Amino acid sequence: MTYAVPEIPATGSVLLANATVPSAVTNGTLNHIGDGLGRADILLEQGEIAAIAPPGLLDRRDGVTVVDLDGGLVLPGFVDMHTHLDKGHIWPRRPNPDGTFPGALEAVSADRPARWTAADLRRRMDFALRCAHAHGTVMIRTHLDSIPPQDDISWPVFAEIRQEWMDRIELQASALYGVESLLMPGFLDRIADTVKKTGGTLGAVTYMVEGLEGHIDALFRAAAERGLDLDFHVDETADPQARSLALIAEGALRNRFEGRIVCGHCCSLARQDADEVDRTLDLVAQAGIGVVSLPLCNMYLMDRQAGRTPRWRGVTLLHEMKARGIPVAVASDNTRDPFYAYGDLDMVEVFTQATRILHFDHPSGDWIRTVTTTPASLLGDPTRGRIDAGLAADLVLFRARNWNELCARPSGPRQVLRAGIALERTLPDYRELDDLMEP
């Protein structure tokens, strides 16, 4: 017996019959089968989803090719809302010496000024995007290291690549630098203007430095003046005294900020006492902040000590946030670089590992939103990550029929459709980058 996904014709109308679809990603009518899943037929015409209905209800007229999926799972194209394309794939030439967070900072700080030319960035970023595309991702936000002079290299390269990839992956960028960089005269205006010019998002890495509240206010003002959204790296540490998430929420309320706000990591929250957690989450909910957890990277970095088994998982409190109505997502973060030695920008792997690490199961319910509808909305494009009539037929088809089968065999057969056309899922060979990896 073979375990291939059925072939999809390249032309004409196609009816995907007997599909299993998560109710969380569609407004269409399904025959519900439990655990947030239902059965449906999906009609594809001219690159769009023409209709979705319970099996057998759509007209199987002449000229429509019927493809029986036999209960195979159909998901929308994935949204990876927190990545670092500029760092990706430097591991072979600049590995983390000990797997720790300081080791990662040291390795990247050495590699960036020595190697991050426009040509180097372009090839590594394009390689990473080809991986994501083959895996079924349709939208990505990358953070770009933006300390001068790197900002003058990375942002123009990103703008070119975004244009080149616009028909395959919708790309966004967010500025990345330590919040203490705001002490440099003129820095905030410089980077905020670059972000505005390129159509990006303003951000910073926040930690408990002197004057943090003033820095947060300055970022909110700079973003509001330019109509920018904000995306922060927050409290990526095991130190329970790291509480910049609460300060950002207070800053959003104090400044009456009207743009979208995302906070990534928020690891230290899981180390704080219940009263502090409740106070912080109440503020985050009131401020309308979305939170993205990066389970692969933070499992790798957090609580690492040589010769000692880690005592905690490094992830933030997504269940408690979701219960308060806080939008929550998960994403890839780093890929084959000193902050995370592995990964391939495969959101099926991310979701599977998040399910295991964060207990997105028993029941699985609507947790698939964390890689589809929720990040799409947080990034400002709610048409992504959905399966509905009138939307592009950007779908990922699986032989797996339910969450258990998907997570048990995440590398199992899948077929990626873009505008209803099946991709040839050929992953780029790591050897393509060999000449960039010499020490």
Q: H or E segment at 175? A: strand 170-176
Catalytic residue among 48, 160, 213, 236: 236
How far CA 243 is from CA of 216, 220, 236, 260, in Å, comes to: 13, 18, 10, 20
The verdict on whether 225 is a catalytic residue reads no
Phi/psi at 234 (5° precision): -130, 125
Cα separation, 10 vs 421, whole angstroms: 6
Spatial contact of 168 and 418, defined as CB atoms under 8 Å apart: yes
Q: How many residues does the chain have?
A: 439
Per-residue pLDDT of the chain (439 residues; tens, 9 = 90+): 456 788 888 778 999 999 999 999 999 899 999 999 999 999 999 999 999 999 999 978 778 999 999 999 999 999 999 999 999 999 999 999 999 999 999 999 999 999 999 999 999 999 999 999 999 999 999 999 999 999 999 999 999 999 999 999 999 999 999 999 999 999 999 999 999 999 999 999 999 999 999 999 999 999 999 999 999 999 999 999 999 999 999 999 999 999 999 999 999 999 999 999 999 999 999 999 999 999 999 999 999 999 999 999 999 999 999 999 999 999 999 999 999 999 999 999 999 999 999 999 999 999 999 999 999 999 999 999 999 999 999 999 999 999 999 999 999 999 999 999 999 889 999 999 999 997 6
Cα separation, 107 vs 338, whole angstroms: 6
By CB atoms closer than 10 A (0-12, 13-18, 19+), residue 53 is: middle
